[in-house]
Amino acid sequence: MIKGGKPLSGTVQISSSKNAILPIISACLLTADECIIKNIPGLDDVSVMCELVSSLGARVEANIQERELYISTPELTGHTAPYDLVSRMRASFLVLGPLLARAGKAKVALPGGCPIGTRPVDLHLKGFEAMDAQIEYGNGYIEAKARTGRLKGSRVYLDFPSVGATENLLIGAVLAEGCTSIENAASEPEIVDLANFLNKMGARIKGAGTDTITIEGVDRVHGAEHAIMPDRIEAGTLMTAAAITGGDVILKNVVPDHLKPVTAKLLEAGIEVSEGLSEIRVKGAPRPAPLNIKTHPFPGFPTDMQAQFVALMAKAQGTSVIVETVFENRFMHVNELRRMGAKIRLDARTAVIEGCDSLEGARVRATDLRAGAALILAGLTARGTTEVLDSHHIDRGYEFIENKLQRLGADIKRV
């Protein structure tokens, strides 16, 4: 429940990254030794991933106060990722890599579609076939096994720089026989965080963060300690909250470099953004200038920030055009924003937004994680009260979102 109209001000501490920790938890399956993961965020998706690796034989302990996870997998007691877990969270598919690497076989449910698109996994599977895995389909599952019992290093070219495929193949290549190169790889910062963790475990990875990653296979890896990187999308979302409310907010625990495309667009919209070493200050403007945006894989403008910017542009001084090139159906927030008075025309992957000087509070429904975040942003600036239903979508990727916003002066509460 949000009562709009209050400019946000103050300081907020950004949590660590959902999209970095999920593949890192999966990578812990590669070793019998204990891995210590620090700075964990309290997110539903983290719990689901811990549940999944536990079902495969991992021992998982969490120290919530210290925000630490301790994971050790003496042996893999299972190699099946069941449909009920994979369908709840697509990132469950990331256990395919470590299962193939350590056990030489895996049975993983195909992730269903999700609100933002079909999200196939063909690039993951094509990559593993290139590494000498045999893939069979049946009853909504894929069964994969390394033909000789061990994956073989090979050259893998990704038709699209898929984040998940890059992560799955990267983890799988760590214990493969020989060298692997992943070309046209995704270069998101979360890939770099994963590669750093794997190298601490004794992997030999070069080039993470570029479009070509090379991995020299080793026979085994050992435990490691790793602090998860800050969540650049939570940071981008809270920067946009400061912008949309005309506020003045300092974000702590950020990596400004990870936010370059978001910062560039806020500056272009007339929002003041100043960067420190690990903090960013954002001063909003009553009505931003309109923008033309196209989402792209990193270092382009992130698709995970598209919904939030549609909300921001709903009050721009003019007409904006936002093109979603990564997912085929990631405009579920548009209908809900229209109910708040936003003037948006949709044509396939393009949203044309005619800025207006105010939005009206309304009862709206979150359809997915970032759409929900966009509705909160719209509620923060709308006249009157906005009720965001199905807020569980938002809890998947934002830790204590209402507390963070309350501390910045927002009139928001969970009912």
Q: Which of 28, 35, 50, 114 is catalytic?
A: 114
Token pair of 366 as six digits: 């979150």
Answer yes or no whether residue 163 interacts with ligand EPZ by CB under 6 A: yes
Contact between 257 and ligand EPZ per CB under 6 A: no
- In angstroms, give the least distance from the CB of 186 to ligand EPZ: 6
φ, ψ of residue 330 in degrees (nearest 5): -110, 45
Q: How far is CA 120 from CA 110, 186, 395, 396, in A?
A: 8, 16, 24, 21
Local structure of residue 295 (DSSP, 8 states): B
Selected binder of ligand EPZ within 19, 31, 196, 308 (CB under 6 A): 19
- Segment holding 204, helix H or strand E: strand 204-206
* Closer by beta carbon to ligand EPZ, 42 or else 120: 120
Query: Residue 137 interacts with ligand EPZ (CB under 6 A)?
Result: no
Among 37, 203, 337, 369, binds ligand EPZ (CB under 6 A): 369
Cα–Cα distance for residue pair 48/63, rounded to 1 Å: 16
Give the residue with the Cβ less far from ligand EPZ, 304 or 402. 304
Active-site residue flag, 179: no
HSE value, Cβ hemisphere, 13 Å, CA-based, for 285: 17
Strands 204-206 and 212-216: antiparallel
Binding mask 370-389 for ligand EPZ (x = CB under 6 A): x-------------------
Residue range at the interface with ligand EPZ (CB under 6 A); choices 102-110, 113-121, 192-200, 307-315: 113-121
Binding mask 295-334 for ligand EPZ (x = CB under 6 A): --------xx---------------------xx-------
DSSP symbol at 75 = S
Q: Which is nearer to ligand EPZ, 45 or 402 (CB)?
A: 45
Rounded CA-CA distance 59/246 in Å is 47
The least CB distance from residue 176 to ligand EPZ, in Å, is 19
Q: Is 9 helix (H, G, I), strand (E, B) or coil?
A: strand
User: Tokens standing for 209?
Assistant: 């963060």
**Which one of 104, 164, 172, 236 is in contact with ligand EPZ (CB under 6 A)?**
164
E-state strands within 256-368: 272-275, 279-283, 292-294, 319-323, 343-347, 350-354, 363-365
CA atoms within 13 A on the CB side of 170: 38
Stretch that binds ligand EPZ, among 53-61, 64-72, 163-171, 338-346 (CB under 6 A): 163-171
Which part of the chain contacts ligand EPZ (CB under 6 A), choosing from 122-130, 216-224, 260-268, 401-409?
A: 122-130
The CA distance from 84 to 141, in Å, is 12
Work out the angle between the directed axes of helices 189-200 and 18-27 (0-180°, nearest 10): 30
Q: Residue 20 CB, nearest distance to ligand EPZ (Å)?
A: 8
186 vs 382, beta carbon nearer ligand EPZ = 186
Enumerate binding residues for ligand EPZ (CB under 6 A). Answer: 19, 22, 90-91, 117, 119-124, 160, 162-165, 186, 303-304, 326-327, 369-370, 397
Q: Which residues are catalytic?
A: 114
